[in-house]
Amino acid sequence: MLIIAHRGASGYAPENTMVAFLLAYQQKADGVELDVHLTADGEIVICHDDALERTSNCRGELRKKTLAELKRYDFGSWFGTQFSGEKIPSFAEFWDWFVTTDENFIVNIEIKNGPYIHHGIEQKLLDIIYSKPIKNPYDRIIVSCFHHNTLNKVKAVDAQIKTALLFEGTPVDVVSMCKQSGPSEYIHPCYSSLDNAMIAAAKSADIGVNTWTVNTVEQLEYVKQFNLTGVITNYPDRARAALEK
Confidence band for 194, pLDDT divided at 50, 70 and 90: very high
Average pLDDT across the chain, whole number: 97
pLDDT digits (tens, 9 = 90+) for 158-183: 999 999 999 999 999 999 999 999 99
Residue 116 has pLDDT above 90, yes or no: no
Q: For residue range 44-99, what is the model confidence (pLDDT) as tens digits? A: 999 999 999 999 999 999 999 999 999 999 999 999 999 999 999 999 999 999 99
pLDDT at 34: 99
Express as a percent the part of the chain with pLDDT over 90: 97
Residue 115 pLDDT: 81
Domain extents in the chain = 2-243
pLDDT at 29 over 90: yes
Neighbours of 179 (CB within 10 A): 13
3-state secondary structure the chain: CEEEEECCCCCCCCCCCHHHHHHHHHCCCCEEEEEEEECCCCCEEECCCCECCCCCCCCCEHHHCCHHHHCCCCCCCCCCHHHCCCCCCEHHHHHHHHCCCCCCCEEEEEECCCCCCCCCHHHHHHHHHHHCCCCCHHHHEEEEECCHHHHHHHHHHCCCCEEEEEECCCCCCHHHHHHHCCCCCEEEEEHHHCCHHHHHHHHHCCCEEEEECCCCHHHHHHHCCCCCCEEEECCHHHHHHHHCC
Tell me the catalytic residues.
Answer: 6, 48
The CATH architecture of the domain made up of 2-243 is Alpha-Beta Barrel (3.20)
**Which residue did the predictor score with more confidence, 36 or 116?**
36
Predicted local distance difference test score (pLDDT) of residue 244: 87
Residue 196 pLDDT > 90, yes or no? yes
* Predicted pLDDT of residue 245: 82
What is the predicted pLDDT for the residue at 47? 98
